[in-house]
Amino acid sequence: MQRHAPSLYAATANPFPGQPQLRGEESADVVVVGGGFTGLSAALHAAEAGYSVILLEGARIGWGASGRNGGQLIPGMRWGAADLAAKFGDDRARQLVSIANSACDMVRGRIARHGIACDLRAGHFYAAAKPGHLDDMRRELEVLERLLGYASARIVEPGETQAYVASPLYHGGYFDAAGGHFHPLNYALGLAQAALDAGVRIFEDSAVTAMDHAAPVLAMTAEGRVTARHGVLACDTLMGTLDPALGRITMPVANYNVATAPLSPDRAAALIPSGAAVSDSKFVLNYYRLSAENRLVFGGGEKYSPRPPADAAAFVRPYLEQVFPQLAGVKIDYAWGGLVGVTLNRLPHFGRIGNSFFAHGWSGHGALLTTLAGSLIAEAMQGHAEKFDLFANLPTRPFPGGPLLRHPLYVLGMLWYALRDRL
């Protein structure tokens, strides 16, 4: 059976029994394709609503981005409330943000209810990489306050920055107590255990090779097939292997994380005194946090060529040392990468094909929204699609250029933005 990518998370994963491979014919009310946060949440919510559910995972539970990410729980969507209000008006923005923000309580609720040991900690600090970015953050908080009376976030003035993060790079920021961080693979495994307990049948090592979304939905693997009333496509960056048109909506961008050797408690506390997850406002952002063992888990840099760096630790180290010069030469114990599925406008993409639902394109902001998406999919199955449709009606466009040109065009665009970070 395929193993998880070697990472801090794989090395510290909670025990989870391997699930069988699909062999032969099965049927259920719902077939979910993909065992990341989206698919697991959809399966769990559907089972709790009384449906019989089969989940097919091509590798292992949490094998994709859900088991490799930075673990940053950042409220809202990749677009802030100010951008959403400017584009869609106050009413639609208010609905979108309040539903998106409900994901914070939903994830915390799941962790508490199922007793998922995933090192959950509270607080997210969004650090301003340029003085002008702090002005944007002030505007964002004003809009959040106006639309929702949002009370959990506050501006951190430049002079207070060091109480949140001991880096010379930043000009204040904002701290949101509703954010946080966790061990993502253990959250995925905990959701999977909750799904099993709710009666979901999970098959690993069972990649779906073709799907028919007409009634009944049919999902085929090399060794078996499942028929169902409803399908759920939750494959994020691999969506294109089952549906080329959906594949053109996202671009896979490789992103790398490292975990340092454990730091002494004093050194760790001096680095991020707030204990919060931190991400910064650079276009190619740095994001980091302290793990339960006081390791710095750091993501930085993006790689637009399909070939991984020969040495992922060496690739990330300069970004880490730019943020924390005091960690120059720190020992790195783990380095790993994953694919972020980004959409052209950085809004997620929800929708239906025949009797199947899909949600993908989290654009690096999926740790919370995916659990919410699973619940909205399960609600839509039951005929309550208002919230699902609010997201399904967000504008989307495929990447231009067709299969051969779209990647080079995207790379050119991204390099331009990365250059802007240095100006």
Ligand X SMILES: Cc1cc2nc3c(=O)[nH]c(=O)nc-3n(C[C@H](O)[C@H](O)[C@H](O)COP(=O)(O)OP(=O)(O)OC[C@H]3O[C@@H](n4cnc5c(N)ncnc54)[C@H](O)[C@@H]3O)c2cc1C
Given the rule CB under 6 A, which residues bind ligand X? 33-39, 56-59, 63-66, 68-72, 74, 207-208, 234-236, 238, 241-242, 255, 257, 287, 299, 338-340, 360, 362, 364-367, 370
Tokens 């006081």 belong to 294
Distance CA 61, CA 189 (A): 7
Q: In this complex, which beta carbon is closest to ligand X, that of residue 57 or of residue 401?
A: 57
Q: Which two tokens stand for residue 38?
A: 């989206």
Q: Which residue is nearest to ligand X (CB)?
A: 366
Smallest distance, ligand X to C-beta of residue 369, A:
7
Radius of gyration over every alpha carbon of the chain, rounded to an integer in angstroms: 21
- In whole angstroms, what separates CA 342 from the centre of its chain? 11
Q: 267 vs 303, which CB is nearer to ligand X?
A: 303
CB of 423 to ligand X, least distance (A): 26
The residue (of 146 and 418) whose beta carbon lies closer to ligand X is 418
Taking the C-alpha atoms of residue 98 and residue 361, their distance in angstroms, rounded to an integer, is 20
Least Å distance, CB 41 to ligand X, is 8
Distances from the Cα of 264 to the Cαs of 253, 260, 296, 322, 380, in angstroms?
Answer: 34, 12, 11, 21, 48
Give the number of other Cβ atoms within 10 Å of residue 181's Cβ.
28
DSSP 8-class letter at 46: H
Cβ proximity of 318 and 324 under 8 Å: no
Instruction: Report CA-CA distances (Å) from 252 to 236, 248, 315, 326, 412.
Output: 9, 10, 18, 33, 15
Q: How far is the CB of 50 from ligand X (least distance, A)?
A: 23
Q: What is the smallest separation between the CB atom of 64 and ligand X, expressed in angstroms?
A: 2
Least separation, in Å, of the C-beta of 411 and ligand X? 18
| Closest CB to ligand X among residues 161, 250 | 250
Q: How far is the CB of 159 from ligand X (least distance, A)?
A: 28
Nearer to ligand X, 70 or 231 (CB): 70
> How many other C-beta atoms lie within 10 A of the C-beta of residue 415?
12
Nearest 5°: CA angle at 142, between 140 and 148?
Answer: 95
∠ CA 286-291-295, nearest 5°, is 80
Cα 195 to Cα 39, 52, 55, 62, 176: the distances in Å are 10, 11, 10, 14, 30
With contact defined as beta carbons under 8 Å apart, do 232 and 275 qualify? no
Instruction: Closer to ligand X by CB, 101 or 370: give it.
Output: 370
β-pair type (24-33, 224-233): parallel
Q: Which is nearer to ligand X, 172 or 364 (CB)?
A: 364
For 162-259, where are the alpha helices, taking DSSP H only? 184-197, 239-242, 244-247
Q: Find the shortest distance in angstroms from Cβ 292 to ligand X.
A: 16
CB of 94 to ligand X, least distance (A): 22
- Indicate the residue among 50 and 230 with the shorter CB distance to ligand X: 230
Least distance to ligand X from the beta carbon of 74, Å? Answer: 6
- Token pair for 36: 């990341």
Nearer to ligand X, 18 or 89 (CB): 18
Which CB, 137 or 367, lies closer to ligand X?
367
